[in-house]
Structures are given as structure tokens and as C-alpha cells.
């Protein structure tokens, strides 16, 4: 279906009132000083590649922010591997995106999975819906499916790159562009200062591949059982673990206790 300015509108299927605009058209709007933010992001990525040659990885969630970073890494010709977690509970759209990234950029994408036996034991002991019963059980599931494989992904690596943005949630307002974890590993968050509009502006401008769930009102995408679409006006991460109070909504991949390096700009 033809939409605005050459974009196709999205038909959400039976039951939907009307086709909706793709996320790039809904959100894409560069904020003031976008070019400076972009230049700063490129600078940080170049620093990561130079200071941690061969030992830095982009830990991609395959969300739209990480797609922007993968695009920039490729465009700059930086020697930074792209890796992702397949928790065993991802949407088909997310799994399919891995193949699109590989084809679009001609790169390998490392896929790290949880230990099969550990998942079997967790599900056998607690059932497939344990995450809904309590926060400790939800965090235990995240520990098995995410934290353990992330630890292996980062093992032997001195730095990693994420797509965290300060604007995403109250828990992320203090995200630094460059942080050092308790283990001494450096975490680069080159999009810390970007707005959602900046992200989608970049995507539209550069034809970046992205998860089609974003067009269906999933601004933040995690595992299928723990992600829902958001309503107009809801927080960008309202669809993640929506049954929990706002303050509990992190999976442990980005723990507090880190400290920022250099001035927060
Ligand atoms: S997001 Fe949900 S399914 Fe995924 S690891 Fe965490 S609790 Fe488990």
C-alpha cells in the first residue's frame, strides 16, 4: 500500500481500524545538533576500535538503536564484531533480522545461546511461564537465557558497545557514553545522547534494515513472552515486562554500579 513520501503504510490485518505509518515516518525527526551527535558517535566508535583492537564487540539486541550502530560500524569500515543473544524465546521477526543483517552488510553475526541443559532444568523446575509469577523468577530466567551467554560473549573482550540511550527510561537517564564496569571492562554507549527521532531519522536516511515489529508499535523488543506493543503516549519501554513496576525493568545486562569515564556531554 502506497503511503507518504514513498514509504508504504503498514496493514495490521483484520481487526485493525486503518493502516498505520511505519515507525520512521512516525518518529523520524532529527533533533537540534543532530550532526554533532552523529559525529560524536562516530568518534566514540573509532575510539573503541582503536583502543580495543580485536577485543571489542558490539553486543547487539537487534533493536533499532543497535541497527544504527551496526550500520555506522560498517560504513566506517571499523574492525568491530557484531554479536547477539538468541535466548530461545525471540520473535520470528527478530531471528529473521539476523539473516537480513548478514546479507545487507555481508558480515558474520556471532550468535550466543544459553546452555541448553540449564534452560531445560529451569523450565522443568519452574514451568514455561515462570517470569509472570515473580520478579525473582523473571530475573532467574534472564540470568539463564541472557546473562550466562552474555558472559561468554564478553569473555576475553576488553570492551563492548551497546545501543543504550538516556531517553529510553528513568533507569537510563544517567547512562554515560563510556563507562567502566566492576570487572574493568569498558562499555561504550555511543547513542547515549540520541533521541528516538534521531534514531529513526538516521534509519530513514540510510535505509537501515530493522525489525518490522517496530512498525507495529514495539519500540523496544526483547523476548516474545516479555514484550508487548505500546499504546500512543506510553513510555518507550512500557511494553517490556509490562506486568512489573517501572523500577524493576532491567534484565541485568546493564547493571548499575558502573562509573562513567570522562565528562558527560
Ligand atoms: S526477557 Fe523474559 S523470556 Fe527472556 S530471558 Fe528474560 S524472563 Fe526469560
For the stretch 231-263, pLDDT in tens is 888 888 888 888 887 666 666 777 655 566 653
The answer to whether residue 143 is domain-embedded is yes
Q: Tell me whether residue 17 is in a domain.
A: no
* Residues catalogued as catalytic: 251
Domain interval for residue 239? 30-251
In a domain, 13, yes or no: no
CATH number at residue 224: 3.40.50.620
Q: To 5 degrees, how large is the angle CA 89–CA 206–CA 46? A: 80
146 close to ligand 1 (CB < 6 Angstrom): yes
Q: What angle do CA 94, 98, 103 make, to 5 degrees?
A: 140
- Domain contains 11: no
Overall number of domains in the chain: 1
Asked if residue 264 belongs to a domain, the reply is no
Would residue 19 count as lying in a domain? no
pLDDT at 55: 98
Q: What is the pLDDT of residue 169?
A: 79
| Ligand 1 atom 2: residue of nearest CA | 226
The answer to the question of residue 122 being in a domain is yes
Residue 57 Cβ inside 6 Å of ligand 1? The answer reads no
Distance CA 34, CA 201 (A): 10
CA of 58 to the centre of ligand 1 (A): 21
**What are the contacts of 5-13 at 24+ separation with CB within 8 A?**
10/215, 10/216, 12/216
Rounded distance, CA 191 to CA 164, Å? Answer: 6
Listed as ranges, residues in the chain with pLDDT below 50 are 1-7, 263-265
Full-model pTM: 0.88
Whether residue 10 lies inside any domain: the answer is: no
Residue 138 in contact with ligand 1 by CB distance below 6 A: yes
Atom of ligand 1 nearest to the CA of 145: 5
Amino acid at each position: 500500500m502506497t503511503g507518504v513520501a514513498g514509504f508504504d503504510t503498514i496493514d495490521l490485518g483484520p481487526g485493525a481500524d486503518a493502516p498505520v505509518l511505519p515507525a520512521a515516518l512516525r518518529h523520524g525527526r532529527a533533533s537540534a545538533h543532530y550532526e554533532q551527535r552523529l559525529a560524536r558517535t562516530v568518534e566514540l566508535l573509532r575510539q573503541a576500535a582503536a583502543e580495543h583492537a580485536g577485543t571489542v564487540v558490539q553486543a547487539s539486541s537487534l533493536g533499532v538503536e543497535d541497527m544504527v550502530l551496526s550500520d555506522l560500524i560498517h560504513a566506517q569500515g571499523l574492525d568491530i564484531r557484531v554479536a547477539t543473544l538468541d535466548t530461545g524465546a525471540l520473535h520470528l521477526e527478530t531471528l529473521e533480522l539476523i539473516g537480513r543483517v548478514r546479507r545487507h552488510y555481508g558480515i558474520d553475526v556471532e550468535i550466543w545461546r544459553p546452555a541448553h541443559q540449564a534452560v531445560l532444568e529451569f523450565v522443568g523446575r519452574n514451568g514455561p511461564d515462570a517470569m509472570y509469577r515473580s520478579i525473582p523468577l523473571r530475573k532467574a530466567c534472564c540470568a539463564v537465557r541472557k546473562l550466562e551467554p552474555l558472559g561468554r560473549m564478553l569473555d576475553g573482550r576488553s570492551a563492548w558497545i551497546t545501543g543504550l540511550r538516556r531517553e529510553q527510561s528513568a533507569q537510563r537517564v544517567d547512562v554515560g557514553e563510556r563507562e567502566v564496569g566492576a570487572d574493568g571492562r569498558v562499555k561504550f554507549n555511543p547513542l547515549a545522547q540520541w533521541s528516538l527521532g534521531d534514531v529513526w531519522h538516521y534509519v530513514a536516511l540510510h535505509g537501515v534494515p530493522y525489525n518490522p515489529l517496530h512498525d507495529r508499535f514495539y519500540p523496544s523488543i526483547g523476548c516474545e513472552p516479555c514484550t508487548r506493543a505500546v499504546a500512543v503516549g506510553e513510555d518507550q519501554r512500557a511494553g517490556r515486562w509490562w506486568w512489573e513496576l517501572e523500577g524493576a525493568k532491567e534484565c541485568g545486562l546493564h547493571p548499575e554500579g558502573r562509573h562513567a569515564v570522562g565528562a558527560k556531554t
